[in-house]
């Protein structure tokens, strides 16, 4: 009998897919199998499926052998590769998320509140260059007055502000602010939008175009420029709305008080001066300034009074009426009517009539004045006097019935209105196209002197008194 030897082959640990060491060995164990049975047992131990002893080699289920490796290595490596792919994919997704999201995260320090604060601080500081970057370019209003010299001379400017609330809704935001000019506080809402230059650029919050207070000014005919806080602005550079008899100019102004002069058409007129107070508000706000017409200057009033004093002081009529071309009219509770039984005679002014004027436009004024006239019948005794030393007759209050106007040559003239009234046409300078005066008693088609043309559809009438 041959000597029996103990089977000292080492057992192998089963691979459970959790990265066990391939070289870990089990302690040797005794085997009672001999010959083929031992070999079969050894084969069963080596096989991953644990096939029964004596099974056919061809039909036995065995793990495929990998060159240079051992049974069970391929599943372990496949699992390892899946874990590596999963880790790499997760890392790539994280990088992508950071790439797309980090710019928005980084923009948090310059959000809508900061954007609104920067603009309002520029407004308080008078930084017009920065303010104009965010101001609305209104199609029907001019921003010509948004200059540093004009703002520096303004009163009641914006002094301070507070941020009351910030509402963010996706890529839009609204900032509610309180504005204070030292005497008045108002609340405004500033809309903003989030914008970027591309997928990898930081997001920035920008103000939507900011609306400013606007004034709509009636500009007298013939005015070629206006002055805002001492700065001249030509009418041709402004947004002018051509209305009949009164062109209009719409001006954007920053919060504050401004002194505006509506030109100086000539020596006979006082320039129109108005004070515009833009409230501390940012948003839709527009105020019309109407009825701005120049008054007669001191020189113009003196000239008119002299011409009125030179008008006829005697007017034919009856005891209840005056002739149609008389420069004054009888004043009474009722309009006088002709009475066939009234005697004819002459109305004579007792004293000169002091004159007041009311402007219609740059070139036309209605004249007002009151006095007393005395009626002397034609058959009154010549040279007779009453107890007061006056010529005998009826006395009645009278009112001045005349207009003053600047003609196409620039001269100031006085004309009685008369019972029939009169018509007039505005005259244009042939070279500049500017209105320069009036052709009285004329409709369209009149030709003036010194290169003036009254061929214009702009004309008017003064009715009978």
Q: What is the pLDDT along the chain (465 residues), one digit of tens a residue?
A: 444 455 555 555 555 554 544 454 445 544 444 444 444 444 444 444 444 444 444 444 455 555 555 555 666 777 777 777 787 777 777 766 666 655 555 544 468 999 999 999 999 999 999 999 999 998 889 999 999 999 999 999 999 999 999 999 999 999 999 999 999 999 999 999 998 776 666 788 999 999 999 999 988 888 888 999 999 999 888 877 766 567 889 999 999 999 999 877 678 998 889 999 999 999 999 999 887 888 999 999 999 999 999 988 888 988 888 876 788 888 865 555 556 677 888 999 998 899 999 998 889 999 999 999 999 888 764 444 544 444 456 888 999 988 999 998 889 999 888 655 678 888 888 887 788 888 886 433 444 444 445 655 455 555 443
Block residue for tokens 């941020």: 163
Task: For the beta carbon of residue 263, count every other beta carbon within 10 angstroms.
Answer: 20
For residue 28, the model assigns a pLDDT of 52
Q: State pTM to two decimals.
A: 0.67
> What is each CA distance from 71 to 23, 41, 47, 76, in whole angstroms?
12, 17, 8, 10
Question: Which among 448, 413, 442 has a CA at the least distance from the CA of 425?
Answer: 442
For residue 420, the model assigns a pLDDT of 56
Structure tokens that stand for 227 in this block: 């002055």
For residue 414, the model assigns a pLDDT of 93
For residue 10, the model assigns a pLDDT of 53
Residue by residue, DSSP assigns 381-412 as: PTT---TTSSPSSEEEEEEE-EEEEEBTTS-E
> What is each CA distance from 336 to 333, 341, 344, 394, in whole angstroms?
9, 14, 15, 14
Q: Is the dihedral of CA 231, 235, 238, 244 positive or negative?
A: positive
């Amino acid at each position: 009998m041959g000597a029996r030897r103990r089977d000292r082959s080492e057992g192998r640990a089963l691979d459970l897919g959790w990265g066990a060491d391939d070289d870990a060995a089990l302690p040797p164990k005794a085997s009672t199998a001999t010959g083929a049975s031992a070999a079969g047992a050894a084969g069963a131990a080596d096989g991953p499926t644990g096939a029964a002893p004596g099974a056919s080699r061809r039909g036995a289920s065995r793990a495929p052998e990998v060159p240079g490796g051992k049974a069970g290595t391929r599943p372990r490596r496949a699992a390892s590769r899946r874990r590596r792919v999963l880790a790499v994919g997760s890392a790539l997704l994280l990088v992508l998320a950071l790439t797309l999201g980090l710019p928005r995260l980084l923009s948090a320090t310059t959000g809508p509140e900061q954007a609104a604060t920067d603009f309002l601080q520029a407004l308080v500081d008078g930084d017009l260059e920065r303010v104009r970057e965010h101001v609305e370019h209104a199609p029907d209003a001019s921003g010509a007055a948004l200059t540093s010299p004009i703002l520096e001379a303004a009163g009641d400017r914006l002094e301070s502000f507070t941020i009351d609330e910030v509402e963010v809704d996706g890529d839009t935001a609204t900032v509610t602010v309180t504005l204070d000019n030292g005497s008045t506080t108002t609340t405004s809402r500033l809309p903003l939008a989030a914008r970027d230059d591309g997928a990898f650029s930081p997001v920035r919050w920008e103000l939507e175009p900011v609306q400013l207070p606007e004034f709509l000014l009636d500009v007298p005919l013939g005015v070629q420029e206006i002055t805002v806080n001492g700065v001249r602005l030509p009418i041709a550079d402004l947004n002018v709305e051509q209305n009949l008899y009164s062109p209009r100019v719409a001006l954007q102004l920053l919060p504050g008080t401004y002194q505006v002069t509506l030109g100086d058409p000539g020596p006979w007129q006082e320039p129109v001066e108005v004070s515009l107070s833009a409230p501390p508000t940012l948003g839709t706000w527009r105020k019309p300034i109407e009825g701005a017409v120049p008054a007669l200057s001191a020189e113009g009033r003196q000239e008119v009074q002299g011409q009125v004093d030179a008008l006829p002081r005697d007017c034919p009529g009856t005891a209840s009426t005056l002739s149609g071309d008389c420069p004054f009219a009888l004043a009474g509770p009722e309009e006088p009517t002709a009475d066939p039984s009234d005697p004819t005679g002459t109305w004579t002014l007792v004293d000169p009539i002091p004159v007041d004027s009311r402007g219609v436009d740059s070139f036309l004024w209605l004249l007002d004045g009151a006095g007393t006239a005395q009626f002397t019948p034609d058959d009154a005794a010549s040279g007779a006097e009453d107890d007061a030393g006056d010529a005998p007759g009826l006395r009645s209050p009278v009112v001045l019935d005349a207009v003053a106007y600047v003609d196409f040559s620039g001269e100031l003239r006085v004309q009685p209105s008369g019972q029939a009234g009169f018509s007039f046409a505005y005259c244009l300078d042939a070279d500049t196209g500017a209105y320069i005066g009036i052709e009285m008693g004329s409709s369209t088609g009149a030709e003036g002197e010194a290169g003036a043309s009254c061929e214009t559809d702009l004309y008017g009438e003064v009715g009978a008194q």
